[in-house]
């Protein structure tokens, strides 16, 4: 039987090129809870706990940007009680972890239409962004009330309202996206064994490598994160060219 890789903080990082920007679809919280006979909200609580060691591991390995799909535009369709718990968990996470994020050199940012979130969540996000704004080791991008189609529409509408240009180019549109100024993701990780992008970063993921993990998100750990990076390092990225 193959030995399970250590999750110790001093475990060796994969040797080779580290992706500058990693995007993660954190999927499977509800199923994790249901498999244990628990309410789905317990899965979300464990999912929040699972994020912290991944952020620390990304910072340790030299990843520049980590973008995580925390709450989609489609998630509003879930039962109101579940949505309320998700918003409460967001506020609790920010209150509990912002000081440590700052200490680890992590700058917290957001993408998505934050204006629809509850006022308390918006205030907590504004505080956490301000507290960590000067940090440069890692950018942690929380995708909240985010949908890629919505992002592209908002970007085009801003361009129409602000620009006097008559032609919309790829470079111009990129400057109006929520991720303006950041490199496109090199690697997309999706947990829970699902093979879908789920309306996440449709423009930015054009040439990203994809790693599908069978682990449900609460079980996703630094060892699996390192495995995703090793998989990325073993690939020949051709960007449409010959190879």
Read off the CATH number of the domain in which 215 is found. 3.40.1180.10
Q: Residue 151 domain-assigned?
A: yes
Identified catalytic residue from 7, 75, 113, 219: 75
Mean per-residue pLDDT, 125-143: 98
Specify the pTM. Answer: 0.92
pLDDT of residue 164: 78
Q: Residue 239 domain-assigned?
A: no
Rounded CA-CA distance 229/57 in Å is: 11
- For the segment 57-93, what is each residue's pLDDT rounded down to a tens digit? 999 999 999 999 999 999 999 999 999 999 999 999 9
Q: Residue 188 domain-assigned?
A: yes
Q: Residue 102 domain-assigned?
A: yes
DSSP state of 80: H
- Report residue 206 as tokens: 């054009």
pLDDT of residue 2: 42
Residue 141 known to be catalytic:
no
**Domain ranges, residue 155:** 21-233
Residue 75 known to be catalytic:
yes
Q: Residue 123 domain-assigned?
A: yes
- Report residue 70 as tokens: 């925390």
Mean per-residue pLDDT, 160-168: 84
Contact (CB, 8 A) for 31 and 216: yes
Q: Residue 83 domain-assigned?
A: yes
| Chain centroid to CA 210 | 14
Q: What are phi and psi of 78, to 5 degrees?
A: -70, 165
Task: Identify which of 141, 144, 77, 149 has the alpha carbon closest to the alpha carbon of residue 117.
Answer: 144
pLDDT of residue 1: 36
Q: Residue 115 domain-assigned?
A: yes
Q: What are phi and psi of 43, to 5 degrees?
A: -65, -40
Q: Residue 9 domain-assigned?
A: no
Residue 241, pLDDT above cutoff 60:
no
Task: Report how many domains make up the chain.
Answer: 1
């Amino acid at each position: 039987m193959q030995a399970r890789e250590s999750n110790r903080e001093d475990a060796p990082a994969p040797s080779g090129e580290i992706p500058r920007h990693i995007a993660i679809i954190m999927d499977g919280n509800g199923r994790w809870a249901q498999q244990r006979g628990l309410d789905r909200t317990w899965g979300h609580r464990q999912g929040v706990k699972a994020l912290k060691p991944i952020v620390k591991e990304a910072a340790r390995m030299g990843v520049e940007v980590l973008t995580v799909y925390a709450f989609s535009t489609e998630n509003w369709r879930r039962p109101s009680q579940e949505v309320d718990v998700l918003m409460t968990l967001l506020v609790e996470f920010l209150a509990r972890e912002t000081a440590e994020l700052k200490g680890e050199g992590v700058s917290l940012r957001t993408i998505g239409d934050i204006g629809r979130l509850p006022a308390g969540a918006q205030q907590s996000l504004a505080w956490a962004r301000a507290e960590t704004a000067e940090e440069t080791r890692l950018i942690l991008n929380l995708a909240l009330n985010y949908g890629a189609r919505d992002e592209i529409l908002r970007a085009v509408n801003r361009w129409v309202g602000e620009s006097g240009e008559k032609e919309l180019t790829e470079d111009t549109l990129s400057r109006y996206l929520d991720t303006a100024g950041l490199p496109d993701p090199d690697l997309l990780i999706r947990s829970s064994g699902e093979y879908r992008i789920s309306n996440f970063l449709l423009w930015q993921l054009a040439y990203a490598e994809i790693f599908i993990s069978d682990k449900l998100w609460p079980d996703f750990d630094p060892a699996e994160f390192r495995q995703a990076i090793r998989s990325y390092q073993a690939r020949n990225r051709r960007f449409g060219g010959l190879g």
